[in-house]
Amino acid sequence: MSFLTILPLAVVMVAGPQLLSAVFLATSREWRRNSALFVAGAALSISAVVALTYVLGGVSTGGGGESNGVLSTVVLVLIVAAMISTFLGREDSEPPKWMGKLEAATPRFSFRLGFLLLGVFPTDIVTSVAVGSYLAANDLPLVDAAPFVALTLLLLALPSLAVLTLGARAETLLPRVRDWMNDNAWIVNEVVLAFFLVLTLT
């Protein structure tokens, strides 16, 4: 898989509450441990989903091209419906209640959050499954998923890396980024869905 192929996949994986959580954790009290364990939890769940899909990839689902066509149509309808719903509900869009805990997050909570967000979030599951299925269908080794996993984790780590490299400037900038993403959650969701729509169509 080329870089141009995995880049949009990695962006889909982190865009939304995943990256927003990484920003929150990078501004939390124990930001080093929290950010590291958040990324570690994400690494475990992404790798597990890709590997499980890869192992099961040889199992025939039946139906051939007709079945795939129906599935693609269903996915497209669901994405468009989600985009419309997100747009119509933009005025009432609020971040999940659990995000209020991030500024005072514990390392254990951060690890669990990374594992769950990147392992059970619908778009992330579908993306990880797509990667594992692609490798299995093309008889490619599982290790070829490493660039996808690594790029996703790098994007998740960007907020904490910014604090490490920029110091006080990042401590000023990140809260602004966090507040903007918090106030414009619907825009972030629309961008995620748009990326996923393009991936489904291509």
Amino acid 27: pLDDT: 79
Amino acid 17: pLDDT: 79
Give the relative orientation of helices 185-201 and 3-14 as an angle to the nearest 10 degrees.
140
Instruction: Give the percent of the chain with pLDDT over 90.
Output: 24
Lowest mean pLDDT: which of 49-53, 70-74, 142-146, 158-162? 70-74
- CB-CB contact of 130 with 57 (8 Å): no
- The per-residue pLDDT for range 117-128, each reduced to its tens digit, is 999 887 788 888
Q: Across residues 156-173, what is the average pLDDT?
A: 78
Compute and round to an integer the Cα radius of gyration of the chain: 18
Q: Where are the alpha helices (DSSP H) in the chain?
A: 3-14, 17-26, 31-55, 64-88, 107-120, 122-137, 146-166, 168-183, 185-201
Amino acid 28: pLDDT: 79
Two tokens, residue 26: 């990078």
Amino acid 71: pLDDT: 47
- How far is the C-alpha of 10 from the C-alpha of 21, rounded, in Å? 16
Amino acid 45: pLDDT: 96
- Decide: residue 142, CB within 10 A, 0-12 exposed, 13-18 middle, 19+ buried: middle
Amino acid 48: pLDDT: 96
Two tokens, residue 187: 């825009």
- The per-residue pLDDT for range 63-104, each reduced to its tens digit, is 445 445 554 565 566 567 766 766 676 655 555 565 666 767
Average pLDDT, the chain: 77
Amino acid 94: pLDDT: 56
Amino acid 60: pLDDT: 41
